[in-house]
Amino acid sequence: MEWQQFLALAGAHFLALLSPGPDFVLLLNHTFHHGRRAGYRTALGIACANAIFILAALFGLGWLQDNPLAYALMYWVGCGYLAWLGWQFWQAKSAPIRPEAATQAYADTPNFFVRGFASGILNPKNAMFYLTLFTVLVGKESSLLSRSLTGIWMFSVVLLWDCLVSWTLSHPKLFVLFSNQQRLLHRGSAYVMFTIVGVMTWSMLIGT
């Protein structure tokens, strides 16, 4: 792979990371409500889900494009999961949170890795994004080593970026600010999730 191709690939990938989506909303909520460690676990789950799509794109994800039923099933399961997350955010109750209290309550909280992984793996747009990226900017003519190194780079960037976001959001001043605005955060997150589900549903129905 030429360095120009790699720069284009890395740039497109990073720009996609900057675009807030369900993974970001989940990371935001887990970090503010449960602390930095929860955010890191969520980030690892999201990165591992991305790694699976990267591996699938490396070794042939084309079957998903050729199997409308499998894609539709994955699509609707993903919509259902995002809608469930939105409902969880909507029902969440506000309670005073301190950074040290979030760490203390860590053991009683959900499995953040699993939730992060589920959010990433049940998003069919992730699958198509990596497939398109590797098809257009990498191509089959690239060596296995080159594609593998690119995949490792992408996984590392996703993990480090999400951990950086979690670390930044867990800053004491931001933590206190959002702790005092929990209802707004929960309802805003729910609206974002419901909007994403609505757009995904509309896109699928219009496309069929």
Give the tens place of pLDDT for each residue, 65-84: 567 777 677 678 767 877 88
Give the residue numbers spanning the domain of 60.
3-64+95-178
Does the residue 115 lie in any domain?
yes
Residue 104 has pLDDT above 60, yes or no: no
Does the residue 7 lie in any domain?
yes
Does the residue 150 lie in any domain?
yes
Residue 203 has pLDDT above 90, yes or no: no
Task: Give the rounded percent of residues in the chain with a pLDDT score beyond 90.
Answer: 13
Does the residue 183 lie in any domain?
no
Does the residue 190 lie in any domain?
no
Measured CA to CA, the distance from residue 101 to residue 39 in angstroms comes to 15
Give the tens place of pLDDT for each residue, 14-39: 766 766 678 888 888 888 778 888 99
Report the mean per-residue pLDDT for the chain. 75
* Residue 104 vs residue 92, higher pLDDT: 92
The pLDDT value given to residue 114: 92
Residue 113 has pLDDT above 90, yes or no: yes
Count Cα neighbours of 108 within 13 Å in the Cβ-side half-sphere: 6
The pLDDT value given to residue 184: 73
Residue 191 has pLDDT above 50, yes or no: yes
Does the residue 206 lie in any domain?
no
Does the residue 170 lie in any domain?
yes
Domain count, the chain: 1
Does the residue 108 lie in any domain?
yes
The pLDDT value given to residue 103: 45
